[in-house]
């Protein structure tokens, strides 16, 4: 199976959906933040390994604890994945922290701050011209 084949793309999507459901609803580890999302999944063509990019909304300590909790629950997650998705091999899951969502939220907040400051400066200039 090639890396970018239609079959591999479908497997990636299905594994991502199932991983998100398992993390959201079945794991009871208190270290795992409720604001955890599976951003992307890449299953190797030989179905031996799977990289799962996760994003956690919160501070560095929350991210670290969530990643630690997910790594400790990897056996359970893999077993649930095997029950749900019928694959020849159940891939070994490697969790990778992805900060793209947090980066986007941070950039959106900065843009809002700059826009507010810009409108305030424009208002100040108009008030100065009126005098």
- Tens of pLDDT, residues 80-114: 999 999 888 899 999 999 877 777 888 899 999 99
Measured in whole angstroms, the distance separating CA 44 from the mean position of its chain's CA atoms is 19
Q: DSSP state, 4?
A: T
- Tokens at residue 15, please? 């594994």
Distance between CA 77 and CA 127 in Å, rounded?
61
Residue-averaged pLDDT of the chain = 89
User: Comparing C-alpha atoms, which of 30, 125, 40, 46 is closest to residue 92?
Assistant: 46
What are the tens digits of pLDDT across the range 6-25?
888 999 999 999 999 999 98
Residue, of 3 and 66, whose pLDDT is higher: 66
What does the longest C-alpha to C-alpha distance in the chain come to? 78
Pair 8, 30: CB distance under 8 Å: no
pLDDT at 101: 72
71: which residues sit within 8 A by CB, 6+ positions away? 95
pLDDT at 104: 80
Distance between CA 35 and CA 43 in Å, rounded?
24
Distance between CA 102 and CA 93 in Å, rounded?
23
């Amino acid at each position: 199976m090639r890396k970018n084949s239609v079959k591999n793309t479908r497997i990636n999507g299905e594994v991502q959906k199932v991983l998100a459901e398992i993390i959201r609803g079945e794991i009871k580890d208190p270290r795992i933040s409720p604001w955890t999302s599976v951003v992307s999944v890449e299953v190797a063509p030989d179905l031996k390994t799977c990289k799962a990019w996760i994003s956690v909304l919160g501070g560095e300590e929350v991210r670290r604890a969530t990643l630690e909790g997910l790594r400790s629950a990897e056996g359970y997650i893999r077993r649930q994945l095997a029950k749900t998705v019928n694959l020849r091999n159940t891939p070994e899951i490697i969790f990778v922290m992805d900060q793209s969502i947090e980066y986007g939220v941070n950039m959106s907040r900065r843009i809002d701050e700059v826009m507010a400051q810009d409108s305030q400066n424009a208002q100040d200039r108009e008030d100065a011209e009126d005098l």
